[in-house]
Amino acid sequence: MRRRISTLAVTAAMAGGILFTALPAHAATTVAGGQSVAARGAVTVNIEELRQQSAELKAKAARLERDGHHAEAKRTRDQANALDRKIQAYIDAENNA
């Protein structure tokens, strides 16, 4: 349970920093938890940047696995998988919109 919470916290922090940095100041509203939500206009997500981050996490997991740090490698792979699921959700949302 502890690992899942920390993974979710890292994923949420990454998403908050990535998703809402492209918004102009007048188009964002801060809500509880410090996340920003678009008040008007579209929210843009750089899918290629997210894919690059996922690839970097997977490479890091492979290095950790080779070095014998199996638990850390699993956590890093879990983060990459969560990011992959998020990417797929964005793609699905775009296709269904």
End-to-end alpha carbon distance in the chain: 35
- How many Cβ atoms from other residues are within 10 Å of residue 9's Cβ? 10
pLDDT tens digits, one per residue of 38-63: 455 677 889 999 999 999 999 999 99
Question: Using DSSP, how many helices (H) and how many strands (E) does the chain show?
Answer: 3, 2
Distance between CA atoms of residues 19 and 25, nearest Å? 14
- What percent of the chain is helix, strand and coil (3-state, nearest 5)? 70, 5, 25
Q: Tokens standing for 30?
A: 């801060």
pLDDT tens digits, one per residue of 7-50: 656 666 666 655 444 444 444 444 444 444 545 567 788 999 99
Provide the whole-model pTM: 0.57
